[in-house]
Amino acid sequence: MSRIRIEGLLAAFPKLVGTGKQHTYVETENVRYVYQPIEELYLLLITNKQSNILEDLDTLRLLSKIVPEYSPSLDEEGVCKAAFQLIFAFDEAISLGNKENVTVPQIKQYCEMESHEEKLHKLIMQSKIND
C-alpha cells in the first residue's frame, strides 16, 4: 500500500468518528477502521472489509495493552518519545498483516533480546572508533 493511500486513509478517519459513539469501528466503501480511544489519542487499526472483525478487535486489544508498557505517558509527546519501541513491539504482535499468538510479556521479552550479530557489529564499530 502506498504512503499516499495510507495518509489519505488517516486523514479521513477524524471526519468519520463521531463523538459519543458506542461502536469502536467505522466502515467505508473499501476499508474498516477499528479504533480504541486511549486518553486524548486513538489507537487505530485499518483493515479491509473482508477481515474478521472479531480478530481485528482482538488485535486492537493486544496493541492497546502494548502502548502503556512502552510509552511513558499516554499523550502525543509520550507516544512520540516511544515511537520506535512501539513500532518494534507492534511488529512482534503483527506479522504479514496477521496477529501473532503472543502475550505482552512475550513481546517485551522478544524486544529486549540481544542479537549476536548486533553485538558483533557494535564491537567492530567501537574498535574502528578506538583506532
Q: 41 forms bridges with which residues in the sheet?
A: 38
Burial (0-12, 13-18, 19+ Cβ within 10 Å), 33? buried
Residue 96, domain extent: 3-130
Q: Which residue has the cell 466502515?
A: 27
pTM of the model: 0.79
Per-residue pLDDT of the chain (131 residues; tens, 9 = 90+): 899 999 999 999 988 887 666 678 999 999 999 999 988 899 999 999 999 999 999 999 999 999 999 998 999 999 999 999 999 999 999 998 889 999 999 999 888 877 778 888 888 999 999 87
Task: Select from 56, 7, 15, 60 the least CA-distant residue to 37.
Answer: 60
Residue 22's pLDDT is 63
Q: What angle do CA 24, 29, 30 make, to 5 degrees?
A: 85
CATH code assigned at 71:
3.30.450.60
**How many separate domains does the chain show?**
1
